[in-house]
Amino acid sequence: MRLVEGRRQGITPWSFAQPINQKEANEAMATIREDRFYILFPNEAKARQFTEAVYRLVAVEEGTLYKVAP
């Protein structure tokens, strides 16, 4: 989270492993649709979860920060 704290007004750090209720799942889906969902340091398993769900990980900073795109 230190990558964005105090420097980017358009990014809100949000940490979760998996949405734990429907409200959080809906919020995650809305941020993806609004093109505001990023992932830090995705490992191979996490990257596969997104690609299997038909999302793309677009490198913003290779190996560090990726935008999740529909």
Cα separation values, 61 from 9, 38, 48, 64, Å:
18, 11, 19, 5
For 65, the domain range is 37-70
Q: Is residue 11 part of a domain?
A: no
Q: What are the residue ranges of helices labelled H in 4-65? A: 22-33, 44-52
Q: Is residue 45 part of a domain?
A: yes
In this structure, are strands 38-40 and 56-61 parallel, antiparallel, or unpaired? unpaired
Rounded to the nearest 5°, which phi and psi values hold at 9? -80, -25
pLDDT tens for 32-60 read 888 888 888 888 998 898 889 899 999 98
Q: What value does the mean pLDDT of the chain take?
A: 79
Task: Please tell me the pTM assigned to this model.
Answer: 0.69
Q: How far apart are CA 70 and CA 56, in angstroms?
A: 6
